[in-house]
Amino acid sequence: MNVDKSTKRIAKRIKKGFQGYPQITLTYFGESANCATTVVVGFIQAEGVAVQEQIFTSKSDARTDEAIQTTLLKVIELAGAKTVIETEGTAIL
């Protein structure tokens, strides 16, 4: 799947806001605000349950990496996530 298509589908899920659980949280980290080399995916099955995390890294910007964006979309779909939240901006490592 191409990166634009994956990014648009993820953005559409994010725009819906809180729809209930299960919930996926996407947080981007990098050396600068312009290049996020790491994505942390948090999965919450239900309210009050511990967060399960998975980390994806890229040598370039993960937000434009086709493999990572496609994988994120697959994780969201396979988890049956009703809510997808993206942390604003890129956190500096």
For the chain, list the domains and their CATH numbers: 3-92 (3.30.720)
The dihedral built from the CA positions of residue 40, 1, 20 and 22, taken in this order, carries a sign that is negative
- Taking only the tens place, the pLDDT of each residue in 47-67 is 999 999 999 999 999 999 999
At residue 93, the pLDDT reads 84
d(CA 92, CA 32) in angstroms, rounded, equals: 6
The whole-number mean pLDDT for each consecutive block of 10 residues of the chain, a chain of 93 residues, reads 89 96 97 94 97 96 95 96 96 90
Q: What is the pLDDT of residue 36?
A: 96
pLDDT for 48: 95
Q: What pLDDT does residue 3 have? A: 86
